[in-house]
Amino acid sequence: MFRTPLLILSLLLAFSHSLLAQKEDSVIIRRIFKEALSDTTAYHNLRYLCTAIGGRLCGSPQAEKAVRWSEKLLGEMGLDTVFLQEVKVRHWVRGNIEKLEVNPGTASGFRLHACAIGGSIGTDEKGLTGNVIEVHDFDELKKLGRKNIEGNIVFFNHTPDPVHYNTFEAYSELVQFRVYGVDYASSYGAKAVVVRSATLAHDDFPHTGIIYYADTVKKIPAMAVSFNDAERLSSFLKSNPNADLLMQMACNEQPETTSYNVIGEIRGTMHPEKVIAFGGHLDSWDIGQGASDDGTGVIQTIEVLRLFKKLGLKPNYSLRVVVFMDEEMAQRGAAKYAKFAKQSDSASGIQHQKHVAAIEADRGGFTPFGFSIDATDLQVKKVQSWKNLLLPYGLYSFEKGGSGVDIGMLKPLGVPLFALVPDSQRYFDYHHSAQDTFDKVNQRELQLGSFAMAALVFLIDKYGL
């Protein structure tokens, strides 16, 4: 007859314990927030990375300098482990000539704002000239066929759809023409490709990025043209359908070289064999400073470890930052780390480590809204149960979705994956362009992202998934 009162008492005790735990969590999360927003270390580190080192294309001297700087930075933080993970990377060089001119040597001629697309072959010193054929998608190219395309320069002018709130959706529609346009055009006999930059920004800055050549078609050179000049060229072709383009590029592929992922770790106090990994990619395109893509992600994730150290937070699991190399070209750093994750972690002296979670910051350093979660429904619900703790700091979105390029290779291991989700409206104004510079990063927004990462890591570390 005492079961009902005992049950009620048990429920009351559980509820009281839950309230007490939430209060404790709130206090610690508040401490993390205050430190993240008060200390300017992250912002100063980003300034150095962007302005003293600059663009960090894998294989370049700047990438090597950034690796050594990152290793030194982590080494000075008093972490339990700091080590380098060797990666063989491509070494593509842009060269000092990039020219795209309409009707060269004529009264109607004009030069376009353009740049080589990453990985493109170059032209000879004289360049190449051909009639330009405008198409808006691959279906239109197919309809024109070889008889209209062969020996000409294809201009992929797929206009962005402004109705997507999430600008990554608009980008995904545009970027396919940059990545695969060379192969499609070459299969119909084109001699070169020009692509509208994958951006929503109405400006004169061309946006680079990677292309992939298939082994089954002839390699042809490729350039990206700015948003404004894509509009200008399209308008000009309506009254001048036989216009010529002159393309000159000095880009070339050098022999592969050695680079590194940079890894730092705080050892777990209760379960050192279990790892929460988080990171961004150190490499960037060479025409800017690699601030939003992905200097902010690198600095925010390094900052997680600084915050734990500064506040004296002793994690249950091992916390590991991974500064990835080669996200932009071939993702070899991600592949190397995924292979490493499958094996014993001899570098730290702990055998048979298991990843509890992996988090990536690679969507710019803008105001964070929450996290995208690639995990089971039960794991997503558990994260959503923490929402009230994070909502006071503007973090409200915890939905099932994608993660990131570098940590994506951990998915076959069953690792729950997360991506920091900031406001995306300005990201593609800067992405892969000369506009991606330190001055575009807002200090407060950057530090809000550091806090968001650290708060999520704290909760995963305390409650698991």
**Cα 214 from Cα 122, distance rounded (Å):** 17
Question: Residue 445: which H helix or E strand, with range?
Answer: helix 443-463
Measured at the CA of 348, the angle between CA 345 and CA 351, to 5 degrees, comes to: 40
> What Cα–Cα distance (Å) separates residue 302 from each residue in 13, 15, 362, 391?
39, 36, 13, 23
327-347: buried (b, 16+ CB within 10 Å) or exposed (e) per residue?
A: bbbbbbbbebbbebbeeebee
Task: Give the pLDDT of residue 1.
Answer: 47
| Structure letter (DSSP) for residue 117 | P
Fold of 34-92+255-463: Aminopeptidase (3.40.630)
Nearest to 59 by CA among 339, 285, 213, 264: 285
Query: Dihedral of CA 418/347/272/311: which sign?
Result: negative
Nearest to 305 by CA among 268, 331, 340: 268
Q: Which DSSP string do the residues of 326-358 spell out, in sequence order? A: -TTTT-HHHHHHHHHHHS-BTTTTB-S-EEEEE
Query: Dihedral of CA 370/433/94/286: which sign?
Result: negative
CATH 3.40.640.10 for domain 95-250, yes or no, is no
What predicted TM-score, i.e. pTM, was given to this entire model? 0.92
Task: Give the pLDDT of residue 13.
Answer: 54
> What Cα–Cα distance (Å) separates residue 181 from each residue in 154, 177, 194, 251, 295?
9, 5, 9, 18, 29
What are 75's two structure tokens?
A: 């080494």
**Cα 368 from Cα 370, distance rounded (Å):** 6
Task: Give the pLDDT of residue 23.
Answer: 85
Question: Residue 275: which H helix or E strand, with range?
Answer: strand 271-281
Task: Give the pLDDT of residue 239.
Answer: 94
395 close to 455: Cβ distance less than 8 angstroms: yes
188 close to 163: Cβ distance less than 8 angstroms: no
Task: Give the pLDDT of residue 346.
Answer: 45
Q: How long is the chain?
A: 465
Question: Residue 248: which H helix or E strand, with range?
Answer: strand 244-249
The pLDDT tens digits along the chain (465 residues) read: 445 666 665 555 555 555 566 789 999 999 999 999 999 999 999 999 999 999 999 999 999 999 999 999 999 999 999 999 999 999 999 999 999 999 999 999 999 999 999 999 999 999 999 999 999 999 999 999 999 999 999 999 998 888 999 999 999 999 999 999 999 999 999 999 999 999 999 999 999 999 999 999 999 999 999 999 999 999 999 999 999 999 999 999 999 999 999 999 999 999 999 999 999 999 999 999 999 999 999 999 999 999 999 999 999 999 999 999 999 999 999 999 999 998 854 445 555 689 999 999 999 999 999 999 999 999 999 999 999 999 999 999 999 999 999 999 999 999 999 999 999 999 999 999 999 999 999 999 999 999 999 999 999 999 999
Task: Give the pLDDT of residue 7.
Answer: 60
Ranges of each domain in the chain: 34-92+255-463, 95-250
**Cα 12 from Cα 67, distance rounded (Å):** 54
Task: Give the pLDDT of residue 463.
Answer: 97
Task: Give the pLDDT of residue 188.
Answer: 97
**Cα 445 from Cα 343, distance rounded (Å):** 37
Judged on CB neighbours under 10 Å (0-12, 13-18, 19+), 147 is: exposed
Nearest to 54 by CA among 434, 430, 405: 434
